[in-house]
Amino acid sequence: MDNCIFCKIAAKQIPSKAIYEDDDLIAFHDINPAAPVHFLIVPKMHIPTLSDCNEAQQALLGKMMLLAPKLAKEQGCAYVNTGEGRGSGGFKTLFNTGPDGGQEVYHLHLHVIGGPHPWRGQR
Ligand code: 5GP
Ligand code: ZN
């Protein structure tokens, strides 16, 4: 897609701080982090929103979701189940969809947001 910033990042036409890449996905640090850890998991294929996905994207979406905790661990915000209480650490996973969902970049991406609080706008 011409003029899509995440297509350009995936194609290395503009730089990013990448933390992961394979044939289907790239993950990179958000340029305007909302928390100590904030990265995006992005399919290389241009898909505008989560609402544009169907069964053809089932495996891709599963891959994105399963990559989130692996990369969160590498980035230092793993959720640790201590076996008692709530455990420790952890992160948010977020797809913004459409204007009312707060989406700004219309190329599908999964936010992974974590690290010690406070976060921007949150305790
Ligand atoms: P959305 O609101 O669409 O869910 O989130 C888009 C995210 O992409 C925002 O958090 C924004 O900071 C991030 N972003 C926008 N442009 C760039 C860019 O050029 N590079 C990087 N690394 N992140 C970007
Ligand atoms: Zn795109």
| pTM, to two decimals | 0.97
Give the whole-angstrom CA distance, residue 105 versus residue 98.
9
List residues, by chain if needed, whose CB lies under 5 Å from ion ligand 2. 1, 4, 6-7, 46, 107
Whether 1 has a pLDDT exceeding 90, the answer reads no
Give the whole-angstrom CA distance, residue 113 versus residue 33.
8
Question: For 68-121, what is each residue's pLDDT tens digit?
Answer: 999 999 999 999 999 999 999 999 999 999 999 999 999 999 999 999 999 998
Ligand 1 centroid to 110 CA: how many Å? 11
Q: Which tokens sit at 4?
A: 């899509």
Q: Is the CB of 32 under 6 A from ligand 1?
A: yes
Q: Which tokens sit at 89?
A: 């650490």
How many helices (H) and strands (E) in the chain? 2, 7
8-state DSSP, 24: S
Contacts of 66 (CB under 8 A, 6+ apart): none
Which residue from 68, 69, 63 is spatially nearest to 22, judged by alpha carbons? 63
Q: Is the CB of 4 under 6 A from ligand 1?
A: no
SS3 annotation, 1-14: CCCCHHHHHHCCCC
Out of 5, 14, 30, 47, mutate this one to test ligand 1's pocket (max ligand atoms within 8 Å of CB): namely 30
Whether 2 has a pLDDT exceeding 90, the answer reads no
